[in-house]
Amino acid sequence: MIGEAADLADEAGFDAVTLSAVARRLGVQTPSLYSHIRDHAALLDGITALALAELADRAAVAIAGRAGRVALHSFADVHRAYSQESPGRWQSLQRRAGAAAVESIAARNFVALTNAVLLGYDLPQGERVHATRLIGSTINGFLTLERIGSFDHSEPAPEASWRKTLDALDSLLLAWPTDSQNRTHR
| pLDDT for residue 177 | 87
The 8-class DSSP code of residue 98 comes to P
What is the pTM assigned to this prediction?
0.90
- One-letter amino acid for residue 3 of the chain: G
Which string of DSSP letters, residue by residue, matches 155-186? SS-HHHHHHHHHHHHHHHHHTPPPHHHHHHT-
Whether residue 160 is contained in a domain is answered as: yes
Whether residue 1 is contained in a domain is answered as: no
pLDDT block averages, 10 residues each, the chain of length 186: 97 97 96 94 95 97 97 98 98 92 92 95 93 97 95 91 98 86 49
Whether residue 174 is contained in a domain is answered as: yes
The 8-class DSSP code of residue 69 comes to H
| pLDDT for residue 185 | 46
Residue 127 neighbours by CB distance under 10 Å: 17
Whether residue 123 is contained in a domain is answered as: yes
Length of the chain: 186
Evaluate whether 88 touches 9 at the Cβ level (below 8 Å).
Answer: yes
| pLDDT for residue 186 | 46
Evaluate whether 143 touches 79 at the Cβ level (below 8 Å).
Answer: yes
CB-count burial class (<10 Å; 0-12, 13-18, 19+) for 70 = middle
Q: Give the chain's radius of gyration (CA, Å).
A: 19
Evaluate whether 8 touches 22 at the Cβ level (below 8 Å).
Answer: yes
User: For residue 158, what is the domain's CATH number?
Assistant: 1.10.357.10
Alpha-carbon gap, residue 78 to 74, rounded angstroms: 6
**Tally of domains within the chain:** 1
Alpha-carbon gap, residue 79 to 56, rounded angstroms: 10
Evaluate whether 23 touches 105 at the Cβ level (below 8 Å).
Answer: no
What backbone phi and psi angles, to 5 degrees, belong to 120?
Answer: -75, 0
Structural domain boundaries, residue 171:
51-178
Whether residue 19 is contained in a domain is answered as: no
